Amino acid sequence: MARVLSGIQPSGEVHLGNYLGALRRWAGEQHEHDSFYCVVDLHAVTTPQDPVTLRTRTLETVATLAAVGIDPEVSTLFVQSHVHEHAELCWLLECTTSMGELRRMTQFKDKAARSTSGTDAVAAALFTYPVLQAADILVYDAERIPVGEDQKQHIELTRDVAQRFNHRYGEVFVLPEAVIPRAAARVLDLQNPMAKMSKSVDSPQGTVGLMEDPKAIERKFKRAVTDSGEEVVYDPTAKPGVSNLLSILGAATGQEPAAAAAGLARYSDLKAAAAEAVVELVRPVQERYAALMADRGELERVLGRGAEKAQSVAAVTLARAREAMGFLPRPPTSRRGG
C-alpha cells in the first residue's frame, strides 16, 4: 500500500476549498492507502496566533477531519507538534535547501505581500516553511500527497530537496508526488474570484466555512461576485466568478462544471443552486462534528494513539537521515559514574 500524507493548518476555520480540494479526497481514499493526516500547528504559527485560539482551533480541526470521514482506526490522525521529529528533520533539510529556491515560492510572496508591516517584518519561519513541509512528507516516506493546486510548487520543492539530499548522502528519502483533484482543485474566493478561498484572508465574506450556519452560507452565495453579461456558461477566463460557482456546484453534485450550467437561466439561479448543493453537502459533516466535539476525551485518546503511531515511523527515518549526514550517535547513558 502506498503511504499517503497530507496536512491542514489550524490557522482559521476549515472552508469549502479545503473540503473540495483536499479533505474529501483524504477520507475517500483512506482505505486504499496507508494514510497519515495531520493538523499542522507548527505551520500555523508562521503568522501570529493567539495561544488560546490556537489550542481550541487545533482540536476543532482534528474534529473536522474526523467529521469529514477520516476514521482514526483506518488512518493515522495526529497533531504535527506532537511528533518532534518533524522539526528536527526540518533543520537537517534546511541545510540542503537554498535561499533562492525559497524565494521563488509564490505562497511566500503572497503571504509576505499581505503583511501590513512589510516583507522584512514577517517571521523567518514563513520563509522556511516549505522546508518544514518537506520534512512533514519525507519523515514518513510518503509517496502520494493529496493537495489542492496551491501546494503543487511546495511538493516540487520537496522532491528537489529530497533528490539533492539523496545525491549527497545516499538514498535516504522516498520521492513524493502531488495528487491534485481534477475538480475543485482551486476554489476561489466568492468576493474575489482572482484569489483562492483561504482561511487567512481579511474579509470572511468570500470564504464559506464548512461548519457555517446554512443561512449564512446562503447569504454568502447570494452576494457572490459574478461577471458582466447574463449567460451562465463555464469560461474561467472570461467569467471567473460564474465559473467558480459552477465548479463548486459541479463538485458538490458530482458533475462537470460545464454540465452543471444546464437549466440555469440567470446568475441568481446559479447562486441559489450552488448554495443549496453546498448546504446539503455540509449538513451530515456538521452533524458528525457536533457529536465529536461533545466528547473531548475521545478526541484526545485518538490523538494520543495517532502521535504514537506517527512517531514510530518518523523516528526511524530521522535516524537514517542523521546517520547519513554523519552525526555522531549519542552514546548510551551509563548507569554508574566513573
Ligand X SMILES: Nc1ncnc2c1ncn2[C@@H]1O[C@H](COP(=O)(O)OP(=O)(O)O)[C@@H](O)[C@H]1O
Choose the binding region for ligand X from 67-75, 118-126, 144-152, 306-314 (rule: CB under 6 A): 144-152
Q: Which of 77, 187, 248, 279 binds ligand X (CB under 6 A)?
A: 187
**CA-based nearest residue to 169, from 144, 142, 138:** 138
Q: Which of 4, 9, 143, 307 binds ligand X (CB under 6 A)?
A: 9
Determine the Cα–Cα distance for residues 287 and 203; give it in Å rounded to an integer.
Answer: 27
Please indicate whether residue 220 is annotated as part of the active site.
Answer: no
**CA-based nearest residue to 14, from 67, 85, 89:** 67
Determine the Cα–Cα distance for residues 38 and 22; give it in Å rounded to an integer.
Answer: 13
R_g of the chain, CA atoms, integer Å: 21
Instruction: Write down the least CB distance from residue 319 to ligand X, Å.
Output: 29
Q: Which amino acid is at 110?
A: D
Please indicate whether residue 199 is annotated as part of the active site.
Answer: yes
Name residue, grid cell 555522531: 328
Q: Which of 21, 130, 176, 193 binds ligand X (CB under 6 A)?
A: 21
Q: Could you say which of 152, 196, 220, 309 is catalytic?
A: 196
Determine the Cα–Cα distance for residues 130 and 134; give it in Å rounded to an integer.
Answer: 6
Q: Which of 72, 130, 148, 306 binds ligand X (CB under 6 A)?
A: 148
* Cα four-point dihedral sign 55, 59, 60, 61: positive
Instruction: Write down the least CB distance from residue 291 to ligand X, Å.
Output: 23
Backbone torsions φ then ψ of 222, nearest 5 degrees: -60, -40
Q: Which of 4, 5, 8, 155 binds ligand X (CB under 6 A)?
A: 8
User: Is 172 or 187 the residue whose CB approaches ligand X more closely?
Assistant: 187
Please indicate whether residue 196 is annotated as part of the active site.
Answer: yes
Instruction: Note whether 241 binds ligand X by CB under 6 A.
Output: no
Instruction: Write down the least CB distance from residue 22 to ligand X, Å.
Output: 4
Choose the binding region for ligand X from 8-16, 282-290, 294-302, 311-319 (rule: CB under 6 A): 8-16
Instruction: Note whether 81 binds ligand X by CB under 6 A.
Output: no
Binding mask 190-229 for ligand X (x = CB under 6 A): ------xxxxx-----------------------------
User: Is 65 or 303 the residue whose CB approaches ligand X more closely?
Assistant: 65
- Are 25 and 17 contacting, i.e. CB atoms less than 8 angstroms apart? no
Choose the binding region for ligand X from 69-77, 185-193, 251-259, 283-291 (rule: CB under 6 A): 185-193
Q: Which of 4, 11, 226, 267 binds ligand X (CB under 6 A)?
A: 11
Q: Which amino acid is at 243?
A: S
- Are 5 and 142 contacting, i.e. CB atoms less than 8 angstroms apart? yes
Instruction: Note whether 18 binds ligand X by CB under 6 A.
Output: yes
Q: Is 163 helix (H, G, I), strand (E, B) or coil?
A: helix
Backbone torsions φ then ψ of 189, nearest 5 degrees: -65, 135
Backbone torsions φ then ψ of 195, nearest 5 degrees: -115, 155
Q: Could you say which of 109, 111, 215, 239 is catalytic?
A: 111
* Cα four-point dihedral sign 125, 127, 130, 135: negative
Q: Which residues are catalytically annotated?
A: 111, 196, 199
Which residues contact ligand X (rule: CB under 6 A)?
6, 8-9, 11, 17-18, 21-22, 147-148, 150-151, 185-187, 196-200
